[in-house]
Amino acid sequence: IHLVNPWVQDTLEVGESVIPVETDLSTPLAYMLKEAGFDQNILEGYLGGETDFRPEVYLLQPHQPGRIPIVLVHGLLGSPQSWEVFMNGLMDDPWIRQNFEFWFARYPTGKSFLYNARDLRNALRSIRESLDPSDSDPALDHMVLVGHSMGGVLSTLLTHDSGDYFWNMVWDVPIDQLDLSPENRQRVEELFFFDRLPFVDCVVYLATPHRGSPLASRPVGRIASRLIDLPNQSRAWLKEIGDKNQQHAKIRLDEQSFNSTSDLRPDSPPIRALGQLEKPAGVSFHNYAGNIEPPDREGSDGVVPLESAAIDWADTQMVVPAKHTEIHSDPDVIRSVKEVLREQAKKLGQSSGMAVSSRSSMPEMGSEVSSQ
């Protein structure tokens, strides 16, 4: 009896014969995603309040040095389980299995973009350091982010420098002129001023509302926004900042102005700031949008208008006849993403060969960051 890990090898030597290993990766993936319980507290993560739901990054399996991480970032009211079909489409290629590995980002989707981006930024930095403290694995310097819907917006925030764009959308004076305690100043700085992650140099957008979604401005969006509750600690420091500095703010400083549904309005400060960011050098962007409308109507995937999902600075731009929630499983998208990954692997000289094989693993399978 031979025990074989199909993620490490797809053939087995028996005597002088080399035998292909038949594998079923779909069943264990489906079982793992179900048993992990990712879908159990989706609503809790959106509604917020006093909850233990914190941003996390999970590895599908222990890191193999030489393999490039693909970090999957779900969207609003989503979870890692939403990636099952997309992952199966990529994993059926043995070359991808040998050169890449899959990580899941998970976060409470009711929180503001800026909160979740801060926490995921810290989580990825932490896990990068724990996996390779000596900075000897170049594969970890070429991570790929794949973001669906709001996950694409977070991917933008992780791969761009903030400059003063986000600050200037909310405040009309420099930070030094605000009345802030040292603790609140640190919180404010972490939200509004940030540097891109230097170890991510490829981003794949799926049905991303780069310019927001009109649904967030409609009655259903306004009602949903009012249902979102911040933890007591977050509400307390936001109130303290607002009480002392509201006269310098361009928006109302309350929890209704700092949640994901409000952020998704086309006229929200975060969305307007995103539109001003400059494309960073050395990072490739690949954009996939859905359109299910007839030619005589404005393009849309049912949630995000085509004019919001399309960007003119992407290295790849593709529109497919897919709904917002089904673009993950579109075969043309999956085929195109495979080509993107082949180009990404060339950065490590892995044009057709196999990655370095190693059974080294990290001490923990997840990285968690808790911030209020």
Domains of the chain as residue ranges with CATH: 24-368 (3.40.50.1820)
User: Which SS3 state, helix, strand or coil, does residue 59 take?
Assistant: strand
DSSP 8-state code for residue 61: S
> N- to C-terminal Cα distance for the chain?
51
- Residues linked to residue 204 through DSSP beta bridges, in sequence order: 146, 286
Task: Provide the residue-wise pLDDT of the chain in tens; the chain has 372 residues.
Answer: 767 777 666 777 877 777 777 776 777 666 666 766 666 666 666 666 556 667 889 998 899 999 999 999 999 988 888 999 999 999 989 899 989 999 999 998 888 899 999 999 999 999 999 999 999 999 999 999 999 999 999 999 999 999 999 999 999 999 999 999 999 999 999 999 999 999 999 999 999 999 999 888 765 666 566 556 666 677 788 888 889 999 999 888 876 677 888 899 999 999 999 999 989 999 999 999 999 999 989 999 999 999 999 998 999 999 999 999 999 999 999 999 999 999 999 988 865 444 443 333 333 334 444 444
| 366 residue type, one letter | G
**How many other C-beta atoms are found inside a 10 Å radius of the C-beta of residue 131?**
20
CA atoms within 13 A on the CB side of 234: 21
3-state secondary structure (DSSP) of residue 168: helix
Exposed e or buried b per residue across 71-85, where buried means at least 16 C-beta atoms within 10 angstroms of its C-beta: bbbbbbbbbbbbbbe
Identity of the amino acid at 371: S
pTM: 0.86
Q: What pLDDT is stored for residue 253 in this prediction? A: 80
Residue 23 burial (CB < 10 Å; 0-12/13-18/19+)?
middle
For residue 299, give the nearest of 282, 329, 319, 279 by alpha carbon: 319
Longest CA–CA separation in the chain, Å? 79
Cα atoms in the Cβ-side hemisphere of radius 13 Å centred on 255: 19
- In a 13 Å sphere around the CA of 278, the CA atoms on its Cβ side amount to 7
What letters, b where the CB count within 10 A reaches 16 and e where it falls short, cover 87-114?
bebbbeebbbbbbbbbbbbbbbbbbbbb
CA distances from 39 to 77, 78, 83, 173, 326 (A): 9, 8, 12, 42, 17
Burial degree of 223 (CB within 10 A; 0-12, 13-18, 19+): exposed
**Residue that has been written with the tokens 């001023």 in this structure:** 193
How far is C-alpha 157 from the geometric centre of its chain's CA atoms?
9
DSSP of 256-313: GGSBHHHHTSTTSHHHHHHTTPPPPTT-EEEEEEE--S-TTS--BSSSSBHHHH--TT
- Which residues contact residue 138 at a Cβ distance below 8 angstroms, ignoring those fewer than 6 apart? 348
At which residue do the structure tokens 């799926």 appear? 206
